[in-house]
Amino acid sequence: MSVELPFQISIPDSKLDLLRQKLALTEFPDELENTGWNYAKLNQDLPQFTKDIDVNGFETLNIHYVHQKSSLANAIPLLFVHGWPGSFIEVRKILPLLVQSSPQFPAFHVVALSLPGFGFSEGAHKPGFAPEQYAEVAHNLMLSLGYHEYVTQGGDWGYLITRIIAHKYGGKHSKAWHTNFPLATPLNFSVNPILFLQHLFTPYTAAEKAGIERSKRFEKEGQGYFHEQSTKPQTLGYSLADSPVGLLAWIYEKLATWTDSYPWTDDEVLTWVTIFYFSRAGPAASIRIYYEFIHSANGSQPSSFEPTIPLGVSHFPEELRITPRKFVHSVGNLVFQVEHSTGGHFAAYECPDELVDDLREMFGKQGPAFGVVPGKNGYEQRIRANL
């Protein structure tokens, strides 16, 4: 059995010195001068560990993850899965909220892994490591921690990975899933004739119309990164690995344009970006998932994964692609859906209170997914005295 080892972020002085030398030769944007990286704060806020996880057909990978249990023994085990250009840091704001116990809402035991090749997780050493393998790593990590029944939350790549988990391990292990990045194809008469006919006679809401226009703009103006990372990741990787300013520009553009006017501070941006710069496998490793996704046998067709376990969805208006509400029914067994007036792509970081409230509502006593994990409903068990 793999041993859980405590982990703290520690960057060698030699690497920091090299970074300073490279930055000294660069004309840095004025607003980002004289800033630093506060990893000690991350170590204080996030209990981190590493564990060896086996992957079928591939080598064993050493996986970095955040793991915090609620003080409530029967809290709901929740797996949080990030995307790109995110990392385990996306769980930072929601973690203390999720583990809270209260008579008013459910508590969660939280696991947030660094996906292979991201952050401080080891990257795959052989080609063909596609989204299904990322899902296997995440699932096996939960099993190794003793969470044989759990729920999931994810956006971006986390959406696809948790969808695969819900499809492959749903029912027996994965009991419900929630996403803030639902991707769905238009309704098809042959697949769901009733919903299709309802859609024909139901006009789009104002929010859906705005979302469709935003999706069109993103398809036209914002897809360059995807095409590059999914076709020539190694070419781009040389620049990302060698140039800290190039990496900063590549990621900061997404942080600025994929959010709903989130007021990024210099420290937030630099901490976010330097997790990539000092990542265990290097910045190039994190973008290879795009190539493997496009070139895998069925990974590029999310619709091939059809979960039946309960699905919850949170919609944020400045998401990259906005799926009309009616279409979400084609994704799976939709039991919970809520629409927010603000928020963008990085919901857990931009809107932590709203996202946590949605999870509490979905899995709470009045929610449609209450009690999906047997014996762990997130509330304190009251023992009745025998009279």
Q: Which residues are catalytic?
A: 156, 290, 345
Rounded Cα distance between 64 and 77, Å, is 18
Nearest alpha-carbon partner for 29 in 282, 284, 260, 269: 269
CB atoms under 10 Å from CB of 123, counted, come to 18
Phi, psi of 292 (to 5 degrees): -65, -35
Give, in order, the Cα–Cα distances in Å from 67 to each of 92, 109, 112, 345. Answer: 11, 8, 7, 24
Classify strands 61-68 and 108-113 as parallel, antiparallel or unpaired.
Answer: antiparallel
Give, in order, the Cα–Cα distances in Å from 242 to each of 126, 221, 246. Answer: 23, 27, 8
CB atoms under 10 Å from CB of 66, counted, come to 23
Cα angle for residues 301, 302, 308 (degrees, 5° grid): 135
On whether the CB atoms of residues 304 and 71 are closer than 8 A, the answer is no
DSSP notation for 16-84: HHHHHHHHHTS---GGGTT----HHHHHHHS-EEEEEE--TTS--EEEEEEEE--SSTTPEEEEEE--T
Cis check for the bond before 106: say yes or no (omega within 30 of 0): no
Tell me the one-letter amino acid at 48.
Q
